[in-house]
Structure 1
Amino acid sequence: MSRSARERGGGDRPGLDRRAVVRGLAATVATIAALGSARAEDEVLEQLMQQSQGRNFGQGFDSASRTILMPKATLPTLDPSTAQTTEQVIPRYEEIVGRGGWPEVPTVERLRLGNRHPAVPLLRQRLAISGDLDAVVAGSGDVYDSYVEAAVRRFQARHGLTVDGVVRRQTLKALNVPAQVRLAQLRINVVRLRTLSNNLGTKLVVANIPAAQIEAIENGVVVSRHVAVAGKPDRASPDLQTRIVEVNFNPYWTVPASIVRKDLIPRMQEEPDYLTKNRIRVFDARGNEVPPGQINWHSNEAVGYRFKQDPGDFNSLGSMRINFPSQHGVYMHDTPSKTMFGEDFRFHSSGCMRVQNVRELVVWLLSDTPGWSRAEIDAVIKSGERKDARLATAVPLYWVYVTAWATPDGVVQFRDDIYSRDGLAASTAGARG
């Protein structure tokens, strides 16, 4: 569409020019005058808003007037320039803080497109100050219009939340983190990024723990991004710099002693057939299989045994496990519990990382390894046979803790300090919502 067409407010509808809009507004004003009541005025204005949305007028004007960007899927979290680009946005947030920050958005159960609510003007102001809503079109009305919805979507994308344009509890909580806390996060993470951004390699995998997200990066471009489930706050996923060396297909799962102690023993006390139902077998120190009924589950006796879950769809590792040297004994893997990937809070594991669409990541990891094409990978998984694939070239892997960063296009992202490592607990406690 040409610039002149956009300036006429035409969107994708050829016949809608400025004169047509003026004629429509004049007719609307005449109708309101004839009806002569506040209620009738509201009804007619609502019809006009719906008509404008129906012909994409608002969207066309929005795209012509705004320079606000959504996060780009191809730009990596960790890049040789990340420390510099993050440092460059700090003055922007210093200015916001210097002007008094942004307002608190009042608690609401839900706000979505078309709602009218007293909180909407403050929401507009909040989004305009942080740069998610163009100040030129921010307005001050109490109707949750398409401009506000688009700004909320951008805000959600920048904060790792479900991008649906609806303000609920998690979005409201992120909106009401004070500007001075966001500024402090940027300053803290610049220091972290300076130690992480050098000599990364041309093909690497980066798992950002607070984002619960994994990126496969090649030549500075994200070729695939994967939602992850990371460690619980009391079983944190560790920082790592290592190399991926192997993929296990249809793996057994050997239950770590910490999980036996914290999870398996209490579960067996409540559900004595849990091991049998989940096809987890018990072995003594000599490798002999032991019936679960012979173990005293009301003691720590079970810690002395080895627990091994058979391969299959029910296996806690799913159909694939990605291995790398680590003193922490952690790894990345598939999972049968795929519903967790749809949550905003994804910190449920005991330190390892579960990977959504892990098959795509594995295909990419093995792309240079003979005998492991996509078709061959699919066939092995389908067969259920236990097989291992050693990577022809080990791929650098970084598990990092980054809660604030900026990409070269100036888009700033934030994540919750899930492990309280930013040292801002006191400041964050004052965050409203």
Structure 2
Amino acid sequence: MKLLSGSFDNVTGLAGRGSHVLKGLWAIGLAVPLLAGPAASAQTALQSLQQNRQKVEWADNFDIATENITEVNSSAPTLSPETANYIAVAIDRYQRIVQAGGWGTVTGGGKALRIGAKDPRVVELRRRLIASGDLEQQAGLSNTFDSYVDSALRRFQLRHGLIPDGVMGESTVRALNVSAQVRLSQLETNLIRMRSMSGFLGDRYVMVNIPAAEIEAVENGRVRSRHTAVVGKIDRQTPILNSKIYELNFNPYWTVPVSIIRKDLIPKMKEDPEYLARNNIRIFDWHGNELSWQQIDWNTDEATQYRFTQDPGAENSLGQVRINFHNKHQVYMHDTPSKTLFGEDKRFHSSGCVRVQNVRELVTWLLQSTTPDWDRGRVDSVIRTGEREDVKLKSSIPVYFTYITAWANADGVIHFREDIYDRDDLYAAETQARL
């Protein structure tokens, strides 16, 4: 049952039935929904497996279809007051892993491995997944990439923000080969970050986790929706900030920032003089007079002296809606016509602003929570008109841009993300791991 889109974990095929199944679930830290207590959790876990109508034995090789993987996600926010406690528990677990010698590496290069493969590297993969609790030790050390390895690898990929394709490719090998010491260091660093955010954040708020490229809309301590995001490139970083959302712009015009004129627009115009016309971008001086592209010397920075405005429409870089909040960095959240970027592992493509997948769902929630006469139908209707409309929220909603690269939830599921802006000081942790 997929509860929410975003970071989640798997219930994979497990051996046996009854208490043995539950023992396996808790032994590897699999997510089990929290109900009335251990008995209720046990019943839920058993029901989940029974619904698959599979009799699973660890000796089998290919008996679980990948579509039977059950995805589970906590509805508690990442910035939940309890998250720091969950991270502390994870730290204790990873300290024991480090003290035991950590985990081995997986040999990279060569052909990517997937279900059905037989390769000596599968033994390395099994050892690595067992060490981190993604694969039951009972699965053994066969060189066959069977359905248990497939499910365990997908679980690992989901915990690390990778596309859960069950393929041991280059990006997955890199994540597998990050040492236990480095992961422990990440947990310790993020425990400090989480404690700094432990105060009351508001009955309703929006949280952007930059390394995870993910957005949470939170209401009364529960996640109402999660949204995949695209955030800033390494050289154009999305800033950490706290602010309040106060306005939405439907079918917005886009005024191109000077930095983008210099870094992107001028080089593109040198290559393709039709770029502006094809993207419905017009040039104005600061008196409101429109210019043609031929009036500008594109071999200099002259273009930065003018205002470039993109008309509303399908190609508008802001998409169909912009979400405004006050900040000194001149960033905002917005829709985008480049929807395919949301399907990538690494979603660091913007110039600092945050692009939002399923933005209509988010803006409907923003409006309904402060301006009740708005619903999804009205949002869709306004967008269909193609005409600019600005809507101020009757009550502003807090928004937090955070930098969290490691966290855990109530079910013991531990998540890691790449330290894309190099804020975790992982170089020191990696050096320590080699000593």
Query: How high is the TM-score relative to the length of structure 2?
Result: 0.83
Shift of 1:285: 1.6
Structure 2 equivalent of residue 264 of structure 1: 265
Distance in 2 (alpha carbons) for counterparts of 1:5 and 1:147: 17
Distance in 2 (alpha carbons) for counterparts of 1:160 and 1:332: 21
The change in CA–CA distance for 1:146 and 1:14 in structure 2 (over 3 A counts) is: closer
3-state SS of 2:157 partner = helix
Structure 2 equivalent of residue 283 of structure 1: 284
Shift of 1:275: 0.9
Structure 1 equivalent of residue 425 of structure 2: 423
Shift of 1:408: 2.0
Match for 2:378 among 376, 380, 384? 376
Structure 2 equivalent of residue 120 of structure 1: 122
Matching of residues 79-94 of structure 1 within 5 Å: 79-94=80-95
3-state SS of 2:396 partner = strand
Match for 1:397 among 396, 399, 415? 399
The change in CA–CA distance for 1:173 and 1:429 in structure 2 (over 3 A counts) is: farther
Distance in 1 (alpha carbons) for counterparts of 2:126 and 2:314: 47
Distance in 1 (alpha carbons) for counterparts of 2:378 and 2:274: 37
Structure 1 equivalent of residue 7 of structure 2: none
The change in CA–CA distance for 1:3 and 1:81 in structure 2 (over 3 A counts) is: closer
Aligned-residue CA RMSD (Å): 2.8
Range with greater deviation from structure 2 (102-111 or 355-364): 102-111
Structure 1 equivalent of residue 340 of structure 2: 339
The answer on 1:110 being equivalent to 2:112 is yes
Distance in 2 (alpha carbons) for counterparts of 1:425 and 1:147: 34
Q: Deviations over 1:176-200 (max 9, x none)?
A: 0011110111111111111112111
Distance in 2 (alpha carbons) for counterparts of 1:287 and 1:429: 57
| % identical equivalent positions | 53
Matching of residues 22-421 of structure 1 within 5 Å: 49-50=61-62, 52-53=63-64, 72-107=73-108, 108-135=110-137, 137-368=138-369, 369-421=371-423
Distance in 2 (alpha carbons) for counterparts of 1:268 and 1:234: 22
The change in CA–CA distance for 1:210 and 1:71 in structure 2 (over 3 A counts) is: farther
Shift of 1:425: 3.0
* Unaligned residue ranges in structure 2 (runs of 5+): 1-15, 23-48
Distance in 1 (alpha carbons) for counterparts of 2:83 and 2:54: 46
Shift of 1:371: 3.2
Is the Cα–Cα contact under 8 Å of residues 181 and 433 in structure 2 kept in the other structure?
A: no
Is the Cα–Cα contact under 8 Å of residues 319 and 337 in structure 2 kept in the other structure?
A: yes
Is the Cα–Cα contact under 8 Å of residues 61 and 147 in structure 2 kept in the other structure?
A: no
Distance in 2 (alpha carbons) for counterparts of 1:192 and 1:341: 26
Distance in 2 (alpha carbons) for counterparts of 1:70 and 1:319: 31
* Unaligned residue ranges in structure 1 (runs of 5+): 22-44, 64-68
Q: Deviations over 1:149-190 (max 9, x none)?
A: 111111111101111222111111100001111011111111
Letter in structure 2 aligned against 1:111: L
Shift of 1:138: 2.7
Distance in 2 (alpha carbons) for counterparts of 1:148 and 1:6: 17
Is the Cα–Cα contact under 8 Å of residues 71 and 158 in structure 1 kept in the other structure?
A: no
Is the Cα–Cα contact under 8 Å of residues 185 and 429 in structure 2 kept in the other structure?
A: no
Letter in structure 1 aligned against 2:126: R
Distance in 2 (alpha carbons) for counterparts of 1:395 and 1:15: 46
Query: How high is the TM-score relative to the length of structure 1?
Result: 0.84
Range with greater deviation from structure 2 (97-106 or 419-428): 419-428
3-state SS of 1:367 partner = helix
Aligned residue-pair number: 389
Is the Cα–Cα contact under 8 Å of residues 125 and 138 in structure 1 kept in the other structure?
A: no
Shift of 1:223: 1.3
Is the Cα–Cα contact under 8 Å of residues 71 and 157 in structure 1 kept in the other structure?
A: no
Distance in 1 (alpha carbons) for counterparts of 2:201 and 2:215: 15
The change in CA–CA distance for 1:146 and 1:99 in structure 2 (over 3 A counts) is: same
3-state SS of 1:119 partner = helix
Letter in structure 1 aligned against 2:196: T
Distance in 1 (alpha carbons) for counterparts of 2:271 and 2:433: 40
3-state SS of 2:401 partner = strand
Letter in structure 2 aligned against 1:275: L
Is the Cα–Cα contact under 8 Å of residues 231 and 349 in structure 1 kept in the other structure?
A: yes
Distance in 1 (alpha carbons) for counterparts of 2:72 and 2:183: 18
3-state SS of 2:94 partner = helix
Letter in structure 1 aligned against 2:415: Q
Structure 2 equivalent of residue 29 of structure 1: none
Letter in structure 1 aligned against 2:381: A
Shift of 1:381: 0.4
The change in CA–CA distance for 1:301 and 1:122 in structure 2 (over 3 A counts) is: same
Shift of 1:113: 1.5
Distance in 2 (alpha carbons) for counterparts of 1:277 and 1:14: 55
3-state SS of 1:244 partner = strand
Shift of 1:264: 0.9
Structure 1 equivalent of residue 12 of structure 2: none
Structure 2 equivalent of residue 30 of structure 1: none
The change in CA–CA distance for 1:406 and 1:238 in structure 2 (over 3 A counts) is: same
The change in CA–CA distance for 1:376 and 1:154 in structure 2 (over 3 A counts) is: same
